Chains A and B, each alone.
Chain A
């Protein structure tokens, strides 16, 4: 098989600092025709040392060359588990660039930006419809801030009842940011082991559930790609003791149009518009992490939220709000793209996206199950987690990931979730066709054969890239954070 990872002409590129030549510049100013304004002495520096001096073409070439080193979902398959690197349709970019959206100033009075408010209102409603939550804030800037916001809402709710709850339960199959979000809100995190089949049991939750527990944070489907099948019972156990259930909505892509977290008994959930709703992320972001809540938590949402009254849209701050979590209204441009995605897909299209995401993950699972060890055998949803247990030649997950680069693929998520030793977490998303999945599976199988027959190919990988394997340990232990001539 011919590999995608071929070496064409790749232009080398130095740092901007190394290009610098004293006196070179990329601007020309007209002669000064007014009196020179002088800054106060105290604000003046003796000299500005170390800034690169460059011409316009130096800078343009520098960044253009760097851009050719990039690998993104527009260049190839990007099966990064947990991250949902689905294709970002370009029509969404067109919508976000419409002058009425792109040029609206955040201080524009409500009566002059009704179109922007209308879009936000309809996005709130659409997210509510797919998730089952009656109230929504679009403000959080990305997933982790959505979690933080959701946990602050939970804390505000308990505070309003005068309850002193200090703990948050988090299963070992939840997303890695969940414990940090709970801790930032001042809670003690109690880890709960998942059952032997990778699914959280209501019994395990019941063992830890008491009146000190403010909330349980789950990710559903969880980081093993498994649906938390006991979720309704789990919610009941938590609610019976006065606690609330937070769901990390990062994996909502598997459920769109099929099941609604609000109907499962979940009280709060954040969305990742930059995953589930196909807006760019990674280097192309920013993200957007709206938070949906049940009726009794609506008064605590960050404000303002958009309301409709007598045919007009207006901003309103909820009565018991936790306050702002982001300047102005959050990442409005991302909201436009997500709304465009929802409207171009339609209800049936969103459902089909979820079905195809699940089908694609299960296709990869079926094709690779005989080659790679599958530690949890439950029915996979949108992602599948293998391990390196059966990889020969003293090769490990990291070697496999690096070798995949030689084949022209972005490696999957590795060594996560932690419940799997040597985890390889693959999420193909719905936007890949069967030919791409086949090519990827063939590459994975070829690498497994190489591990047996010629393991050095893995140990030395990547060999077809601009730079060979980087010393991640040295980079972490002795980071060099600035350029020193």
Chain B
């Protein structure tokens, strides 16, 4: 299971790529593996406001339906338009083709609460 070094992670198993004031969000390899085959994704609309720690969308697998939580507060500036048609890429490419939304971050201190790859790895091992 891979947890790229350049990403940050949440306890709810989202990953975050920080590029200046824009953060890209998806779910981790561990999350997709736990969920099993993803069959449906619901994302917010561009322009929506998301709040750190609150649900911004839904991912449904053959096993369960789960909320996806915003790692930071801010405005949704872009969504992965292709994802609802091809939810399987969340399983095959969670960190690249499976990205979900980009958020313009309102307050960069939100990033302080996130884990780095090593801390997330340890968190996952404890949870498994």
Residues of A within 8 A of B (CB): 415-416, 418, 421, 472-473, 476-477
Contacts and interface: CB of A to CB of B under 8 A. Distances in A.
9 contacts: A415-B63, A415-B64, A416-B64, A418-B64, A473-B37, A476-B40, A477-B39, A477-B87, A477-B88
Interface of B: 34, 37, 39-40, 60, 62-64, 87-88, 128
B62 A473 contact: yes
A170 to B, nearest CB: 12
A476 B39 contact: yes
Contacts of A477: 37, 39, 87-88
Nearest to B66: A418
Given A476-B40, A477-B88, 5 more contacts: A415-B63, A416-B64, A473-B39, A476-B60, A476-B62
Nearest to A191: B67
A421 B62 contact: no
Contacts, number: 20
B88 to A, nearest CB: 7
A476 B88 CA distance: 11
A418 B63 CA distance: 9
Contacts of A473: 37, 39, 62
A472 B37 CA distance: 9
Contacts of B63: 415
A135 to B, nearest CB: 34
A182 B44 CA distance: 21
A473 B36 CA distance: 9
Nearest to B39: A476
Contacts of B40: 476
Nearest to B63: A415
Contacts of A476: 37, 39-40, 60, 62
A369 to B, nearest CB: 22
A476 B65 CA distance: 13
Most buried by B among A416, A418, A472, A473: A473
Contacts of A416: 64
A416 B65 CA distance: 11
Contacts of A415: 63-64
Contacts of B88: 477
Contacts of B62: 472-473, 476
Nearest to B35: A415
A472 B62 CA distance: 7
A266 to B, nearest CB: 27
Contacts of B39: 473, 476-477
A473 B87 CA distance: 11
A418 B67 CA distance: 13
Most buried by A among B34, B39, B128: B39
Contacts of B64: 415-416, 418
B113 to A, nearest CB: 18
A473 B61 CA distance: 8
Nearest to B127: A421
A5 B111 CA distance: 56
Most buried by B among A416, A418, A421, A477: A477
A473 B39 CA distance: 7
A421 B13 CA distance: 15
A476 B39 CA distance: 6
A10 to B, nearest CB: 27
A418 B39 CA distance: 18
Nearest to B91: A473
A416 B66 CA distance: 13
Nearest to A179: B67
A25 B7 CA distance: 67
